[in-house]
Amino acid sequence: MFRTSRKYLLLLLIFVFAFTYRMLLMHRATYPPGADIGLHQSVIYSITGSGTTNFLWNYYQMGGGLSLTFPGYHIFVSYIIMMTGMPAYMAHSVVVSLFSSLIVLCAYLIVRTLQGESAALIVAFLVAISRFDVEMLLWGGYPNTVTLMLIPLVFYLFFQRERFSLVPFLATTAILSGSIFLTHSLSAVIFILVTFLTAMLVMAFSKRIGVPRAHALVWFVPLFLGALLVSPFLIDSAPAYLSANVDTFTGGMADIRQALLSTRVLPLELVLPPLICVPFFFFFSKKYRKRFFTVPSLFLAMWILVPLLFTQTFLVGLYTDYNRFLYYTVLPVIIIIALGIDHGSGFFARIADTYLSFTKQLSQSAKNSKIATWLMPHLTRKNLYSSFVIGLLLVAFFAVPIFLTPSQGVTAQSFYQVMNDPEYEAIQWARQNTPAGSVFVSDALYGWWFSGFAQRPTLSAVDPQYLTLAREFEPAKTAKLLLDTDYMIDNGLIQIREDGGYIARHNPVIVAKLNWTYFPYSFLNFNNSETQVKYRISDSPMSITLDKLTVKEMHMENDSDHATITVTKGNNYFNYTELTTVYRGSRFVNISITLNAANGVSLDWLDFTVHSNGKVLAQQNNTIALLDGGVKAFSQLIFAKEQPNVDVVNPENPCIFELDYNLQGKTRGEIQFSATAYSVTDSLEYYQSPEVTADYFNKIIVDNLNTYQTKAPNSPVLDVFDYQKAVVDWNVSYIACRDSEIIPKFAGDPAFSLVFINDAVAVFMVKRGFE
């Protein structure tokens, strides 16, 4: 339907559009979006900046250590940077935008083989606006983008085996296969399995498919030759890869396994649509090739089925980021949509053309006759087909969620954008003004940029589901806690976090360990800025909140049985000491508070304002219980000795209540209470009515009153975090903080000194010897 020159001109325009669209989104905010670009740049610096190249070691990521990021992409980009001298982030965006746009051409070649030029141009346009391909660029999956281009190119060559002599075919496919093996491990696995399973099916049903078995047997040769080409790297990496990842993939790292199961398992509504596409490959094969089973139809079916099978491997005890497998199904799904648009447009064009041929002789008014005279010559089947194609493409563009409109592209770019000028300024400052090898700590997204572009070992606060190596878990956990709090105690039943005395926020916060997700849930929060001490000096009433007191001491003590956080604050009139203790095997946290007044000072009241999720479930003289029905979490405070006045300010979620302790004008006051928060049953029978719920939980409340000091035997060991110990253990030199809420935690602590600040980032240096 297109003359050759027009056809290739249109294909070129689609390719240019795809490349321009991607580059505009990548640099809409100057710097490419996403955090993974920092990882890739750290790999490049590790390859090019060291004396002897070691592809299995990253000097910057997560503080430095074993790296199993396959280096093919990074080797290529490092040469581009050296040859052109362009900024590193620009080199990344140009290279990946080019490879992503080349997928357009690969899709064109595949569909031209299946159904002709028109369908091939349709799929080229659809790939140009593919949401998944564009979003992979935006979050930084650069090596994966390269292999998503290489895989269909190799498959196309497999389809067209008879068009090439053996030596050029083997040489080309071997180099391309080796490039896949060297660039991305997950892609290599998918590529090998799809090729292997398709080849086995073709050899098993060669007569029905109509090709000799040798046709498929020869596909194994490029796999072998490609692996042979990169065998020095594969031989070195295979033992390290298997030993370092076995715990992660098989669930040996419980935290990573639970985080993956909590966040990365795909719902059926994402798995079923690609699966539904599979039969249509065989239907179209029957329609256009007179056989249900052909080499392309089997390849395309396996191309979807293998990744979808991997999305369910958690059922057999294999754990990874299951979302990543969906990217491999996108191109075959787009191919089936393109085939459907081409077939549907041809079908409707034939119907319309037939109808017009029967009605063109009908009598019309004079006016209509002129219109008909002008219009009818243009209503050819070719033009009708083109009109239906354009209409269906517009429907797909705006209605099908796997395609990305410009406005949606801008929204996605804004969502993934990490870097701006002030943040990049801080990176450049660190690179120029801090000693090489200085260990930084930063948040997950900024930390990856920092490690790559500042060339400094960086602990990034990455959530476990995004980690691929077991060695990365502890530095990520340390960074996450260091940027959040000063002390943490977790006994497997309950967790508390204490921000210490330099910031009024979590002082402490009681965190529930939910049974349906890895991530803990903050339930009860005490805030120093809302805890007030009322006292008298020579009968003159005074009051002050705890955040206004000077920190005199902070430390943690722990042994095999319990851990205690001690925070002492005071002024010239009294000292306030809070001890927060968590025992091994106990659901309850014990909080003990002592106030000691100077001579001539009388202590009158200690008033807490407590913020809580959930709503008040029960309130008695010596306890208050709360329930968050949304997450099925329960909390209870028990006042064992001193009984406060409890005033519920807001009984609904989020609940606010006040605890007012009468200190009776004495010079010393002692207060003690226990608190808990934990998951409860999600059985709906206990939430049918307020009466049923109250009856069920009243039994739990009474049981807790009788057993809150009981410790369960054979309990997990305590997991503790002490920020002073952490910075020493990990040799932390600097903290790069982007969270304005957390900056005061470091700014007020004499263990840190501010060395750089702008509108976006504050960098604090750790003072040695403070511990």
Nearest to 337 by CA among 639, 126, 643, 67: 126
Query: pLDDT tens, 95-113?
Result: 999 999 999 999 999 999 8
pLDDT of residue 364: 45
pLDDT of residue 144: 96
Buried b / exposed e over 529-560, threshold 16 CB at 10 Å, is ebbbbbbbeeeeeeebbbbebeeeebebebee
For the chain, percent of residues with pLDDT exceeding 90: 73
pLDDT category of residue 360 using cuts at 50, 70 and 90: low
**Which of the residue ranges 3-7, 23-27, 731-735 would you say has the lowest mean pLDDT?**
3-7
pLDDT category of residue 51 using cuts at 50, 70 and 90: low
pLDDT category of residue 370 using cuts at 50, 70 and 90: low
Predicted confidence (pLDDT) at residue 9 exceeds the cutoff of 80: yes
Average pLDDT, the chain: 91
Query: pLDDT tens, 188-223?
Result: 999 999 999 999 999 998 888 888 888 899 999 999
| Cα distance between residue 74 and residue 209, in whole Å | 41
Q: Mean pLDDT over residues 378-404, rounded?
A: 87
For the chain, percent of residues with pLDDT exceeding 70: 96
Query: pLDDT tens, 611-650?
Result: 998 889 988 889 999 999 889 999 999 998 889 999 998 8
| Cα distance between residue 308 and residue 313, in whole Å | 9
pLDDT of residue 365: 44
pLDDT of residue 367: 47
Predicted confidence (pLDDT) at residue 361 exceeds the cutoff of 60: no
Contacts of 766 by beta carbon, 8 Å cutoff, 6+ apart: 727, 732, 733, 734, 735, 751, 752
Q: What is the total residue count of the chain?
A: 771
Model-level pTM? Answer: 0.90
pLDDT of residue 745: 94
290: its two tokens:
């007179």
pLDDT of residue 539: 84
Q: Mean pLDDT over residues 474-497, rounded?
A: 96
pLDDT of residue 248: 76
pLDDT of residue 339: 94
Predicted confidence (pLDDT) at residue 413 exceeds the cutoff of 80: yes
The sign one gets for the Cα dihedral 267, 269, 274, 279 is positive
> Which string of DSSP letters, residue by residue, matches 491-544?
-SSEEEEE-TTSSSS-SSEEEEB-SS-SS-EEEEEEEEEEEEEEEEETTEEEEE
DSSP classification of residue 461 = E
Query: pLDDT tens, 391-403?
Result: 999 999 998 999 9
Residue 193: exposed, middle, or buried by beta-carbon count in 10 A (0-12, 13-18, 19+)?
middle
Q: Write the single-letter amino acid at 375.
A: L
Q: Mean pLDDT over residues 246-253, rounded?
A: 74
Check: CB of residue 715 under 8 Å from CB of residue 585.
yes
Query: pLDDT tens, 19-30?
Result: 999 999 999 999
Q: Mean pLDDT over residues 116-131, rounded?
A: 94
pLDDT of residue 114: 85
pLDDT category of residue 384 using cuts at 50, 70 and 90: confident
Query: pLDDT tens, 734-764?
Result: 999 999 999 999 999 999 999 999 999 999 9
> Which string of DSSP letters, residue by residue, matches 568-634?
EEE-SSEEEEEEEEEETT-S-EEEEEEEEEPTTEEEEEEEEEEEESSEEEEEETTEEEEEETTTTEE
End-to-end CA distance of the chain: 78
pLDDT category of residue 355 using cuts at 50, 70 and 90: confident
Distances (CA, A) of 444 to 457, 463, 537, 658, 701: 14, 8, 49, 36, 40
